[in-house]
Structure 1
């Protein structure tokens, strides 16, 4: 039986009967000198996050959130556990390292990728920060260009090795959609099969040819910043997604909103975690997508990704 590791314990894949948000943040701290608002803090924002998830469970049947806040990003699994219990929505926690601007000192201090891989394996096997909560995915492992720098290659290889050794899948951060082909090449060198890889933020890259190449290689293509109109219009996202679907790659698509700062919450006037369901999916249906296709992209695909299942066994 395929099992997903959540912050409240193992969850049978067959028990995920509603949609999944494949790339989100429920607790995060990405504040820097140039951006003091990029945060979802436990004290200030956990309550509105919980309320949003509970409302989405009630209205749309939201079953699971893949929460990709990792080491150095303000991860807080105690708060994730509380949000999950109070909203009655399952949450998967992550481990790994974001792109270089957010690398903690441990990345620089490590001699090589192997030393960092051991850090991740210990966390996966023993729990996060002294808790009983184990990560259910590697991510969001970051690079920030078409050419991968030395520090980011070290963390990418470390994460791939940890994924190979533990059986977890791996989600990446492709900065503004760039670098997916280079990431996939490194991950393949480390022996991680493409069907256990999700390449992030591909909806920010207006290049259907790259999307097709990544999908043909077997990786998941994450259209995961839906609603972030300041980065890309949803009209462009829809065009890119339809191109990928027309090429026959519906089974490679993951969808989400990547809520990463408190200003995106509905309580503060933002589009919220539900933008995918309330706005984007209706547009996709109007373009011809039926319920089975929507279920494939929002439920069966993310469950297959998390469990490392090659064929579509989740019905």
Structure 2
């Protein structure tokens, strides 16, 4: 366990993070394929992103963004460092490989052990020649109910690198599918479940799977809040409340996963602040108190990043009946 976070502007004690954390976002990426030019956040969007984060720091106390753009996704750690310095919001960068359609060709000839050595090198020495060290491994991905052979190797590499360096692993489970298989593969490679966050579970309308993942000790990422074209926030709220009612408030992570420039407030989107402006008020209206909101938005992501296990005495409402909410 290490309470020191590696951010893009240098080491930061977790105890210095006093406000909320966005557990899965993107500040610089390029996922364009074919004619889809919208899945980009470039240097040209940097000023708008900086302004959004600075505004959220002033209004809600936003303290940290976990930036999960990894290798092959257009990662720009120097750009992230400029955004962090100018917005005064700390940023943790990621490493690893996304799901198979975004894998570089040479991965097909590389073993999991070799891939893990590449990740350990970045974690220990920095990305490229920047000297900027990743503070998390992710978002490492798969699509479908079972990882492909290539995805199994990159997920195994992530687990091996995580055990060697003490970092945690955040996954991309496309449309919420395949989380149980990801967890089985990562833990089989020696990574404890409390060092794992299974991504995009708010896109999977299956509370039983969420409970099974949480019971095993993994974090459940409700990390596409506001992406109504994928899933309504009404369903997200129902799924999250069901998880809280089941006693797993200490296993939930929240974020918006801004992954296209059209999501930025400057372009008419809901932006990085949708979680605080829209979704958290809905949680309050459902009977979730401020202690539990702090658990969901600050304590949980910090415990995930640092490897602290256990509920930290914070989930006082979990397991009790929330007003107006019947468990699934």
TM-score by length of 2: 0.94
What do the CA deviations read for 1:176-214 (whole angstroms, capped 9, x no partner)?
000000000001110100000000000000000000000
Q: Which residue of 2 aligns with 1:202?
A: 201
Mark the runs of 5 or more structure 1 residues left unpaired by the alignment. none
Query: What displacement does 1:35 show?
Result: 1.4
Could you tell me which residue of structure 2 aligns to residue 80 of structure 1? 80
1:2-44 CA deviation, whole Å, 9 max, x = no partner? 11110011110111100000000000000000412100012x1
Task: Report the secondary structure of 1:142's partner residue.
Answer: strand
Partner of 2:57: 57
Alpha-carbon RMSD: 1.0
Q: Which string of whole-angstrom CA distances, capped at 9 and with x for unpartnered residues, describes residues 256-286 of structure 1?
A: 0000010000000000000000000001100
Alpha-carbon distance in 1 for matches of 2:313, 2:27: 26
Distance 2:273 2:300 in 1: 19
Q: Distance in 1 between matches of 2:147 and 2:50?
A: 36
- C-alpha offsets along residues 209-249 of structure 1, whole Å, 9 cap, x if unaligned? 00000000000000000000000000000000000000000
Moved over 6 A (4+): none
Deviation at 1:108, TM superposition (A): 2.1
The match for 2:12 is 11
Residue 134 of structure 1 corresponds to which residue in structure 2?
133
Contact residue 250 and residue 310 of structure 2 kept, 8 A: no
- CA shift, 1:147, in A, is 1.3
Task: After TM superposition, give the deviation of residue 138 of structure 1 in Å.
Answer: 0.2
State the secondary structure of the residue aligned to 2:15. Answer: helix
CA, structure 1 residues 202+195, in 2 after alignment: closer, same or farther (shift >3 Å)?
A: same
Give 2:188's aligned residue.
Answer: 189
Residues 1:29 and 2:30 are matched in the alignment: yes
2-structure distance, mates of 1:106, 1:221: 32
Per mean C-alpha deviation after superposition, the further-off stretch among 303-312 and 93-102 is: 303-312
Offset of residue 312 of structure 1 = 4.2
* SS of residue in 2 equivalent to 1:173: strand
Structure 1 equivalent of residue 98 of structure 2: 98
CA shift at 1:313, angstroms?
Answer: 4.6
In structure 1, C-alpha distance between the alignment counterparts of 2:142 and 2:106, rounded to whole Å: 17
Equivalent residues in 2 for 1:1-315, closer than 5 Å: 2-42=3-43, 44-110=44-110, 112-313=111-312
Residue 3 of structure 1 contacts residue 10 of structure 1 at CA under 8 Å; is this kept in 2?
Answer: yes
Find the counterpart in structure 1 of residue 322 from structure 2.
Answer: none
Q: What's the CA shift for 1:314?
A: 8.9
Greater shift after overlay, 157-166 or 1-10?
1-10
Contact preservation (8 Å) 1:303, 1:314: no
TM-score w.r.t. length of structure 1: 0.98
Q: Is the 8 A contact 2:256 2:275 kept in 1?
A: yes
Aligned to 2:326: none
CA contact 1:7–1:133 (8 Å) conserved in 2? yes
